[in-house]
Amino acid sequence: MNRRAILRWLKEDHEDRLAALWQEADAVRQKTVGDAVHLRGLIEISNGCDRNCAYCGIRAGNRNLTRYRMSEAEILICARQAVAYGYGTVVLQSGEDLGMSREWIAKIIRSIKAATALAVTLSLGERSEADLKAWREAGADRYLLKFETSDRALYDRIHPPVRGRRSDRFALLKKLRELGYEVGSGVMVGIPGQTYASLARDLELFQELDLDMIGVGPFLPHPAAPLGRNPKKFLAPAPRQVPNSEEMTCKVVALARLLCPETNLPSTTALATLSPERGREMGLLRGANVVMPDLTPLEYRALYEIYPGKGGTGESTEAFHRRLWDQIEALGRTVGIGPGRRLNLTLGV
């Protein structure tokens, strides 16, 4: 599928043709990664952040937020909970909190690896090559770093530089690959200023980067962030601006599955937040094969509000787990067992 074909799908609004897209994505998902839905236990280990991303609720400039950093003991309790629920992976996620030292994170990775058989995914933002190398050597398996948009001008507008350096997430993704991580990336759909043409390019890049994991969620306006307070000011002219809708997010999920048949593709919490009654199922029915249940203790989770609603509804981890399990079975799918590595069908592994 070339960029023009991708673009045509992104702009498609004919119901029958879209139904064919959903069906094809689901069929490819079934044929490649199968019916297993892999669950990754998310642990939001710190909401500290040194960055000022224009969309994000935990940006450094948000002074009305109590900051926390979980202790190693608290993180280990969550990891053991992941094991108890039968999950094969934990994802350690945080703001870009440079107060978390290389050694501290390495120690936590080693502790989780010593105590469990979990795969460990990191999602800690842009860190130095030395940090990434040390964490890989400590046993981390995967790293998530969304590039958010391939439109450099838009990227720069919404990611003010820090410490005088220009961020280059594509260079970092390449480094992560060289270090032997499974590499995940992704974008937000409907960022004010995001055009259809740039989103088509984002999708093409998913394929070029041969990503092992692809996270796609709608942009959700947060009142403590400039893009959320005044989205209109940033919008592209109407015919070119991508909407942050459930349908558009599903199109990107479905196209990601067609372009990267073997990738691990979550039905994201952002999609479920935008569309509480059916967002999660829609993702799973239109190409996704992963869900990331939040294991963060409720009192911290409420403070990890990158977008409104991310802090949770107050539903307990246990209740969510049971509801999710039922949802997966109701779709005729199974809960994945083991770490759920990215398949490589061409190598027959």
Instruction: Please identify which residue in 270, 272, 288, 292 interacts with ligand 5AD, judged by CB under 6 A.
Output: 270
Q: For every residue of the chain, which 3-state class applies, written as one string?
A: CCHHHHHHHHHCCCHHHHHHHHHHHHHHHHHHCCCEEEEEEEEEEECCCCCCCCCCCCCCCCCCCCCCECCHHHHHHHHHHHHHCCCCEEEEEECCCCCCCHHHHHHHHHHHHHHCCCEEEEECCCCCHHHHHHHHHCCCCEEECCCECCCHHHHHHHCCCECCECCCHHHHHHHHHHCCCEEEEEEEECCCCCEHHHHHHHHHHHHHCCCCEEEEEECCCCCCCHHHHCHHHHCCCCCCECCCCHHHHHHHHHHHHHHCCCCECECCHHHHHHCCCCHHHHHHHCCCCEECCECCCHHHHCCCCCCCCCCCCCCCHHHHHHHHHHHHHHCCCEECCCCCCCCCHHHCC
d(CA 331, CA 234): 39
CB of 326 to ligand 5AD, least distance (A): 27
Residue 249's CB is within 10 A of a number of other CB atoms, namely: 29
Q: For ligand 5AD, which is the closer residue by CB, 80 or 146?
A: 146
Task: Give the contact letters, 103-142, x = binds to ligand 5AD (CB under 6 A), - = no.
Answer: ----------------------------------------
Considering the rule CB under 6 A, would residue 80 count as an interface residue with ligand 5AD? no
Q: For ligand 5AD, which is the closer residue by CB, 217 or 336?
A: 217
Q: For ligand 5AD, which is the closer residue by CB, 55 or 68?
A: 55
Residue 334's CB is within 10 A of a number of other CB atoms, namely: 12
Size of the site for ligand 5AD (CB under 6 A): 12
Instruction: Please identify which residue in 188, 211, 248, 258 interacts with ligand 5AD, judged by CB under 6 A.
Output: 188
CB of 45 to ligand 5AD, least distance (A): 13
Q: For ligand 5AD, which is the closer residue by CB, 188 or 200?
A: 188
Task: Give the contact letters, 222-261, x = binds to ligand 5AD (CB under 6 A), - = no.
Answer: x---------------------------------------
Q: For ligand 5AD, which is the closer residue by CB, 21 or 211?
A: 211
Task: Give the contact letters, 289-328, x = binds to ligand 5AD (CB under 6 A), - = no.
Answer: -----------------xx---------------------
CB of 147 to ligand 5AD, least distance (A): 9
Task: Give the contact letters, 196-225, x = binds to ligand 5AD (CB under 6 A), - = no.
Answer: ---------------------x-xx-x---
Considering the rule CB under 6 A, would residue 55 count as an interface residue with ligand 5AD? yes
Q: For ligand 5AD, which is the closer residue by CB, 159 or 257?
A: 159
Q: For ligand 5AD, which is the closer residue by CB, 119 or 270?
A: 270
Contact between 295 and 273 under an 8 Å Cβ cutoff? The reply is: no
Instruction: Please identify which residue in 54, 56, 291, 295 interacts with ligand 5AD, judged by CB under 6 A.
Output: 56
Contact between 271 and 217 under an 8 Å Cβ cutoff? The reply is: yes
CB of 16 to ligand 5AD, least distance (A): 30
Longest dimension (CA), the chain: 54
Stated length of the chain = 349
Q: For ligand 5AD, which is the closer residue by CB, 148 or 281?
A: 148
Residues that bind ligand 5AD (CB under 6 A): 55-56, 146, 148, 188, 217, 219-220, 222, 270, 306-307
